[in-house]
Structure 1
């Protein structure tokens, strides 16, 4: 049996979709699973022995017994690919629609048959994790994310650990969120305060994480801090970034790809939420969710507007106490 999963992006969504792979293999014995994604998405899926083929072009893929279409941007592709059965979104008369067994997920999304306003209401009232939705959609068991570091990547992180003399409890801090999601961030001063309390009161080592868009922000954090913070750098490859997260015992993060990597690596993740849904995220009993006590929680606004800054309601002490509990 040939199965094709269509999930082009975003990277965190691709990673969390790996939770269905074992369930598919168990339900459809001896099936061959292929995955259609973008070039950058293929990096997340490397070294995954449950995926038989990774494609970045949908031409000449042949026919599939089952197509699982999970990306609203790819409805046209899902429609064009030859298949016996489809679950998820597709085009019907040029309109983006979705199958009846996928309504609870797509009703909350960009192509919801109810429109954007109602979709946002449903998303805010939702209590099921993404994994629950996917499991029900496909009638398979949902398990943990699958992300396997290579030996080379593990060696990279071990070299970093040796260089910085890492020992004892290691706390990762990833409080930025790039430029696209300003409302997901915790500000620089709160990050500095948290790092200082962690080092002084809990006697831990702190590693500061970020991507290219956090360069200036992280420089400011390091400059303002009155304690030693280890800089993970902002120019790591995606998989080396993940390898450094793997050094952490506890990982404090915004709702970003970094959070999903922490979950995939079985870390104790403390994730904080402002504009996005905490209910969708499954920490598999290993972490804590800190939710902004704000009227605009789960508003899905990306940019700061007057009077709206969800994560301003996240207090340093909430994060600190979560670390104390998990440590």
Structure 2
């Protein structure tokens, strides 16, 4: 492996992907002769990597393809550099191409070719060959995605020639303590992050099944359990309905985590959970990065890619369209009973 004065990591979205990409940082930093690691990310994702001890510098970019020239002038390096371009959108790909041309550096990942098409280097085929830019076309890429049994971290470690490691998120103790005080109470705290935003409705668990799950857990655990309903702005309405139904359950203690928290405030709530039940979403990746016990469920997306590092349970759809990346994938096999069993197993470990 050549020595590099700098590794420039371009990863701007989505938020969960940014967070799980932190798993490659220990391996990159351990490479012989590597200097600084600079992470270029979006303003929205910046808090997720801001305090990471293995990131020497965080640079912010809005992803606008028309603003590439300014960033080339500011980010371009004349030293030995390895550019890791891990997004598949036009803006980051164009930036990677211009930076590589400016410096003559090694480029691994996605870029904009001479014809204006988006492509990727041969050394990242294992990942990008399962995605939107796949050279073999979407049907074959989807087939490879469904057949894959390697985790995101394993794929990237093998591609980049580094050791596989864990994602991580740095939270200050005062922030976590503030969240703990806000949630209050005693006993087991189970986080319910069962919504899925707007893009992949079938990632989520319906309000009715979420309420049924809480009822099963309450029946099994009694007065020693509390629930906190978690989510973001897109879950505001469904979480409100969920809270109304849960509040009507006799003896069940439910807390409103809110849907307008900042990223790190939201993560601090996740950090307080004894078990987190989550869709394939940002909360899941936060739970993994914060080493919380997680019960994660998957229908349209790949459960194999998400490593729970022995601290969780992966509940996957048994329907034929599992991992089809269809927004209307059948998630009916993600039952409250399966999820309840998984939560109880984790609590008994």
- Distance, in Å, in 1 between the alignment partners of 2:14 and 2:94 is 18
How far residue 310 of structure 1 moved from its aligned partner, in angstroms, is 2.1
Unaligned 5+ segments in structure 1 are none
Would you say how many aligned residue pairs link Structure 1 and Structure 2?
319
Instruction: Give the CA RMSD over aligned residues.
Output: 1.4
Q: Which residue of 2 aligns with 1:295?
A: 320
Q: Which residue of 2 aligns with 1:126?
A: 148
Q: Does 1:6 align with 2:10?
A: yes
Q: Which residue of 2 aligns with 1:263?
A: 288
TM-score by length of 2: 0.88
The SS at the match of 2:19 is helix
Q: Which residue of 1 aligns with 2:55?
A: 51
Q: Does 1:31 align with 2:35?
A: yes
- Distance, in Å, in 1 between the alignment partners of 2:195 and 2:266 is 14
- Distance, in Å, in 1 between the alignment partners of 2:12 and 2:240 is 33
How far residue 31 of structure 1 moved from its aligned partner, in angstroms, is 1.5
- Distance, in Å, in 2 between the alignment partners of 1:218 and 1:149 is 25
Select 1:282's aligned residue among 295, 307, 310.
307
After superposing on structure 2, the runs of 4+ consecutive aligned residues of structure 1 that deviate more than 3 Å are none
Q: Deviations over 1:36-92 (max 9, x none)?
A: 111111121121111111112434112151001111112111101134211111222
Unaligned 5+ segments in structure 2 are 62-70
Contact between 2:7 and 2:34, CA under 8 Å: does it hold in 1? no
Deviates most, 65-74 or 145-154: 145-154
Deviates most, 278-287 or 226-235: 226-235
Contact between 1:245 and 1:262, CA under 8 Å: does it hold in 2? yes
Deviates most, 33-42 or 212-221: 212-221
- Distance, in Å, in 1 between the alignment partners of 2:265 and 2:234 is 17
Contact between 1:270 and 1:287, CA under 8 Å: does it hold in 2? yes
How far residue 152 of structure 1 moved from its aligned partner, in angstroms, is 3.7
- Distance, in Å, in 2 between the alignment partners of 1:268 and 1:201 is 18
The SS at the match of 1:284 is coil
Pair 1:289–1:275, CA change in 2 (3 A) = same
- Distance, in Å, in 2 between the alignment partners of 1:289 and 1:108 is 21
Q: Deviations over 1:6-47 (max 9, x none)?
A: 111000000000001111111134520001111111121121
Contact between 1:195 and 1:229, CA under 8 Å: does it hold in 2? no
Select 1:145's aligned residue among 160, 164, 167.
167
How far residue 201 of structure 1 moved from its aligned partner, in angstroms, is 1.3
